[in-house]
């Protein structure tokens, strides 16, 4: 039903665009007959709008891989470096939340582990909307920040790292089957913010998947039931990723291998000192508008990366 709904939405979108073009042609014929300059300006404006919409729709044709249309589960991890990296991970979290807001996606924080002084050690967010995973898979990897430290009394230049993991949301047992005996569920008191009630009651959930050893925790919600649902959502996504990685590895072996994202393989650098620049090392796309990027304007980086992968054998 979900796939059917998505296909209906696609068909309706293209039909609406076709009707808009037909209407525009009729307006153009009328403007030519009557030499109406105001109508011609309106036609010009509408033509640009349709062109932009068409460009966006054509780009979405790139997002045709399995799971591209699904919601995304994104997890951020601060790298080594304590406060510096934890603050950097928090900056990335804000960047992705702002990106979701800019693009009309719904973002829900499923779990956070606060830093010792500031920032976060890790955070997991669920970004909901069509093609959320298709776009955000471009962000999977290590992100590097170079800046003058606000936490160093000498204001020395520091380099910080954070890892972004992006998974497609699994559709429960349709994608992955989990037997009740395969999981162990523990409850504990929440250690994060949220009021005294969250910290007094054992509402936080820890789920261990016994066959793989995967452990997922969730403590952001007030109720134990909500936290369990969120934790299971992340567990399903991680198990789906394991199956997907196995298939990709088989194909990668035929291709000659591939380099996974690792701490020595940052995908993007954000330099705030001694100059301002954000550069993607996979595509060489860069911009000096670091403020806009950190405020969520990362679409050009995402599209540049996805376009670079067109024709790449999966």
Q: d(Cα 219, Cα 202) in Å, to the nearest integer?
A: 9
Query: 152-183 pLDDT, tens per residue?
Result: 777 788 999 999 999 999 887 778 888 889 99
21-35, 131-145, 237-251, 293-307: which has the minimum mean pLDDT?
237-251
- The structure tokens listed for 109 are 């924080």
Cα–Cα–Cα angle for 291, 126, 293, rounded to 5 degrees: 10
* Average pLDDT value for residue range 183-204: 67
- Selection from 263, 289, 261, 293 nearest residue 276 by Cα: 289
Is the pLDDT at 221 greater than 80, yes or no?
no
Angle between helix axes 2-34 and 37-60 (nearest 10 degrees) is 160
Where residue 252 falls among pLDDT bands split at 50, 70, 90?
low
CB 119 within 8 A of CB 108: no
Q: Looking at the domain that runs over 72-170+260-308, which CATH code has it been given?
A: 3.30.70.1660
Fold of 174-255: Double Stranded RNA Binding Domain (3.30.160)
pTM, 2 dp: 0.77
Helix (H, G, I), strand (E, B) or coil at 253: helix
Helices (H) and strands (E) in the chain, counts: 8, 11
Q: d(Cα 102, Cα 19) in Å, to the nearest integer?
A: 27
Is the pLDDT at 258 greater than 70, yes or no?
no
Highest mean pLDDT among 46-50, 249-253, 298-302: 298-302
Query: 71-110 pLDDT, tens per residue?
Result: 999 999 999 878 999 999 999 999 999 999 999 999 999 9
Q: d(Cα 275, Cα 277) in Å, to the nearest integer?
A: 7
Helix (H, G, I), strand (E, B) or coil at 195: coil
Element (H, E) at 214: strand 214-218
- 89 versus 8: which is more confidently predicted? 89
Q: Across the chain, what does the average pLDDT equal?
A: 86
* Average pLDDT value for residue range 22-45: 86
Residue 178 C-beta-side C-alpha neighbours within 13 Å: 23
44-48, 155-159, 240-244, 245-249: which has the minimum mean pLDDT?
245-249
For the four alpha carbons of 15, 19, 24 and 26, in that order, the dihedral sign comes to: positive
Highest mean pLDDT among 35-49, 114-128, 160-174: 114-128
* Predicted pLDDT of residue 262: 46
């Amino acid at each position: 039903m979900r796939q059917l709904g998505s296909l209906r939405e696609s068909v309706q979108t293209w039909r609406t665009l076709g009707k808009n073009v037909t209407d525009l042609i009729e307006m153009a014929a009328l403007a030519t007959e009557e030499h109406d300059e105001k109508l011609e300006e309106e036609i010009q404006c509408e033509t640009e709008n349709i062109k932009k919409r068409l460009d966006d729709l054509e780009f979405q044709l790139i997002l045709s891989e399995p799971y591209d249309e699904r919601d995304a589960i994104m997890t951020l991890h601060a790298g080594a470096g304590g406060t510096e990296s934890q603050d950097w991970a928090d900056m990335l979290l804000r960047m992705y939340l702002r990106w979701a807001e800019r693009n009309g996606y719904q973002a829900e924080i499923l779990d956070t582990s606060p830093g010792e002084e500031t920032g976060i050690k890790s955070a997991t967010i669920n970004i909901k909307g069509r093609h959320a995973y298709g776009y955000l898979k471009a962000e999977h990897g290590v992100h590097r920040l170079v800046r003058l430290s606000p936490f160093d009394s000498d204001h020395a230049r520091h380099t910080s790292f954070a890892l972004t993991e992006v998974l497609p949301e699994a559709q429960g047992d349709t994608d992955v089957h989990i037997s009740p005996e395969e999981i162990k569920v523990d409850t504990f008191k929440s250690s994060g913010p949220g009021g005294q009630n969250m910290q007094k009651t054992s509402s936080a959930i820890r789920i261990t998947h016994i066959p793989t050893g995967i452990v997922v925790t969730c403590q952001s919600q007030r109720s134990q039931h909500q936290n369990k649902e969120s934790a299971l959502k992340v567990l399903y996504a991680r198990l789906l990723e394991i199956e997907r990685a196995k298939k990709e590895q088989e194909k990668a072996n035929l291709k000659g291998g591939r380099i996974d994202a690792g701490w020595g393989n940052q995908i993007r650098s954000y330099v705030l000192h001694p100059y301002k620049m954000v550069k993607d090392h996979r595509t060489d796309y860069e911009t000096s508008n670091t403020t806009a990027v950190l405020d969520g304007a990362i679409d050009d980086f995402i599209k540049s990366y996805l376009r670079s992968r067109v024709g790449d054998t999966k």
